């Protein structure tokens, strides 16, 4: 029996993410050849798995995350999330995928300064049309788990760096996404705060079965993930 056109192969469905032959270049200076950032990158990520991506500054780690999330288009290659190819989706479908199935954490928290912690964390649920009261209850529960039960109504400006990043982690996880893409999520914290935030991050992600795709320069954080890959000269290799 032939597979329906466009339907994922059964083997594709075993992976949350499957990347094959991904390449990405950027224009160089005038009269220079394009600079190849990613070269024939292939990788897989299973549901609930954590994967750390390491590499020197400028190696293309953040670019890889942007391409995987559909913020930038690759020059070549295929990206499949839960069996569906990104190239087959229009912008509305990609936005829906990001809003419902992804969470994001960055080195700088990117919280909405005018909103309280609980309102920042409620945002992904409100975008998903969860009623306001239910969204706030879920936001309160995860913030309390992260040790911020007494900071629910504080704005980012009066929170410490570690507290702001905990709010960002809560916002990324509150809607129980399939995967969180984290770009140096503790890079702006001191060592002790970084360890505490990441430990809570991993614990909550594991409880909800959320996969973690982590870009980090910190080998200790990378060791806390299930797998480690290194990006060097555009090539990705398992460590």
Cβ proximity of 211 and 99 under 8 Å: no
Give every CB contact of residue 36 below 8 A, 6+ residues apart in sequence: 23, 24, 25, 234
Decide: helix, strand or coil at residue 200.
helix
Decide: helix, strand or coil at residue 203.
helix
Place of tokens 């000269």: 233
What is the pLDDT, as a whole number, of residue 143?
A: 94
Q: What is the 3-state secondary structure (H, E, C) of 80-124?
A: EECCEEHHHCCHHHHHHHHHHHEEEEECCCCCCCCCCHHHHHHHH
What is the pLDDT, as a whole number, of residue 27?
A: 75
- Name the H helices within the chain: 61-68, 91-101, 117-127, 132-145, 161-173, 191-208, 219-223
Cβ proximity of 228 and 50 under 8 Å: no
Which residues are paired to 99 by β-bridges? none
Place of tokens 């770009």: 183
Beta sheet of 84-85, edge-to-edge order: 35-45, 17-26, 76-81, 84-85
What is the pLDDT, as a whole number, of residue 5?
A: 39
What is the pLDDT, as a whole number, of residue 8?
A: 44
| pTM score | 0.83
**Rounded (10°) angle between helices 191-208 and 132-145:** 130
Closest CA to 98 of 118, 77, 72: 72
Decide: helix, strand or coil at residue 175.
coil
Cα first-last separation, the chain: 40
Q: Is 181 exposed, middle or buried (0-12, 13-18, 19+ CB in 10 A)?
A: buried
Please give the structure tokens belonging to residue 90.
């229009």
Domains defined for the chain, CATH in brackets: 48-72+96-238 (3.40.50.300)
Q: Give me the tens of pLDDT residue by residue for the chain, a chain 239 residues long.
A: 333 334 444 344 468 999 999 999 887 665 677 788 899 999 999 998 999 999 888 788 889 999 999 999 999 999 999 999 999 999 999 988 988 899 988 877 789 999 999 999 999 998 888 999 999 999 999 999 888 999 999 999 999 888 898 899 899 999 989 999 998 887 777 787 788 778 888 888 888 889 999 998 888 888 888 999 999 888 888 86
């Amino acid at each position: 029996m032939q597979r329906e056109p466009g339907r994922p192969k059964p083997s594709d469905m075993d992976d949350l993410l499957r990347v094959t032959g991904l390449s990405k270049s950027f224009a160089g200076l005038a009269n220079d050849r394009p600079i190849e950032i990613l070269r024939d990158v292939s990788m897989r990520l299973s549901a609930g798995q954590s994967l750390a991506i390491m590499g020197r500054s400028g190696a293309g780690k953040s670019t890889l995350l942007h391409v995987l999330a559909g913020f930038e288009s690759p020059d070549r290659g295929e990206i499949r999330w839960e069996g569906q190819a990104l190239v087959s989706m229009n912008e509305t479908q990609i936005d829906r995928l990001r809003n419902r199935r992804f969470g994001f954490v960055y080195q700088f928290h990117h919280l909405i300064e005018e909103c309280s912690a609980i309102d920042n964390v409620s945002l992904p649920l409100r975008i998903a049309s969860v009623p306001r009261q239910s969204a706030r209850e879920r936001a309160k529960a995860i913030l309390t788990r992260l040790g911020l039960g007494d900071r629910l109504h504080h704005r980012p400006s009066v929170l410490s760096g570690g507290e702001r990043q905990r709010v960002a982690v809560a916002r990324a996880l509150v809607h129980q996404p399939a995967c969180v893409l984290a770009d140096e999520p503790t890079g702006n914290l001191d060592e002790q705060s970084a360890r505490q935030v990441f430990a809570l991050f991993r614990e909550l992600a594991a409880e909800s079965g959320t996969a973690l795709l982590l870009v980090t320069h910190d080998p200790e954080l990378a060791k806390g993930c299930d797998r480690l890959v290194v990006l060097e000269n555009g090539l990705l290799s398992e460590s």
